[in-house]
Amino acid sequence: MVFLIGESPMVEELGEQCARVGYTITVKFNRPLQKEKLPPLLRSSSTIPRGTALAIELTNTDKEKKKKNILLLEKSLPGHTVILSSSVTVTATEQASWLKSPERLMGLSALPTLLSQQLLEVAPTVNTSTKTVSTIKNFLERLGKETAVVQDRIGMVLPRILCMLVNEASFAVMENAAPPRDIDTAMKLGTNYPLGPIEWADKIGIQQVFSVLESLHQDLGEERYRIAPLVRQMAAGKRWWST
């Protein structure tokens, strides 16, 4: 039995994959989802079912809410129950420091769309137990995924690269180098990227991208990670170029 808590559409995206391989899934959203939008294989509940063997926290854009969720999981689940938590905008190490038993938590590279790919990155902390690591690896294997173990740092590997690609393309748009669609065309034809940077941001969600960039800038403190004002504006206005 797996319990997923956090942001839409990540909860549905990963929840459906779990349900398809036979896990019983219960989900809880940060903001209530309209009933008709809940995929049929998922059951929504405000309480965490007894017998939950693995809990997954998927919040990137609201650190306070994420902390509340993690503390709720700790309060509701026995001490040995493993927690897999998105560690793209808050390190797994910081999240584990909120817990009385930090050995139960490991980080995951969770972003919309990327959750459906063939490989996911996981980040253990200095306190993550071998049992936690093996439980999570087995779980991801059952989902048919490869894993890559990376150091526990903001943005991990792919989210950091992708969000910085979006940031650069956004600066190029702002500076009137070329319009968004032409940038996508050029990047796909000129470099063989599967999607252009503007399309990536559309799939992932500009607010998610903004959160990753904001966390990178805060963590690394370098001008290199300055957020393109266009990303900031579009994230605040909840708009982007749809593809």
Partner 1 sequence: MATIGIVGAGTMGGGIAHVAALSGFNVLLHDISTDVLNRALQRISTDLQKGIEKGKISAENVEQTKQRIRSTSTFDDFSPCNLVVEAAVEKLDVKKNIFSELEQRCLPDAILATNTSSLSVTAIASSVKNAERVVGMHFFNPPHLMKLVEIVRGQKSSDETIRKTIDLAKQLGKTPVLVNDTPGFIVNRCARPFYGEALRILGEGIASVEDIDRIVRLEGGFKMGPFELMDLIGIDVNFAVTKSIYEQTFGEPRYRPHVIQQAMVNAGYLGRKAKQGFYKYEL
| Interacting residues with partner 1 (CB under 8 A) | 109, 114, 117-121, 146, 148-151, 153, 156-158, 160-162, 164-165, 167-169, 171-172, 175-178, 182-183, 185-187, 189-195, 197, 222-224, 226
By beta-carbon proximity to partner 1, the closer residue of 67 and 203 is 203
Q: Dig out the tokens for 212 from the structure.
A: 């990753």
> Considering beta carbons, is residue 62 or 94 the nearer one to partner 1?
94
Which of 96, 150, 152 is closest to 127 using CA atoms?
Answer: 96
Min. distance of Cβ 159 from partner 1 in angstroms?
A: 9
The half-sphere exposure of 71 on its side-chain side, counting CA atoms within 13 A, is 9
| 6 torsion bin: left (phi>0), alpha (psi -120 to 50), beta (else) | left
Cα distance between residue 132 and residue 108, in whole Å? 13
CB atoms < 10 A from the CB of 182, how many? Answer: 14
Closest approach, Cβ 100 to partner 1, in A, equals 28
| CB nearer to partner 1: pick between 129 and 147 | 147
Question: Whole-number minimum distance, CB 83 to partner 1, in Å?
Answer: 21
Given the complex with partner 1, which of 77 and 183 has the nearer CB atom? Answer: 183
How many helical (H) and strand (E) elements, i.e. helices and strands, does the chain have?
9, 8
**3-class SS of residue 203:** helix
In the complex, minimum distance from the CB of residue 186 to partner 1, in angstroms, rounded to a whole number = 4
Nearest to partner 1 of 27, 92 (CB atom): 92
Q: How far is the CB of 195 from partner 1 (least distance, A)?
A: 8
Q: Which is nearer to partner 1, 130 or 191 (CB)?
A: 191
Q: CA 93 to CA 105: how far, in whole Å?
A: 9
Strands (E), the chain: 2-6, 25-29, 43-44, 54-58, 82-86, 105-108, 119-123, 146-149
CB of 25 to partner 1, least distance (A): 23
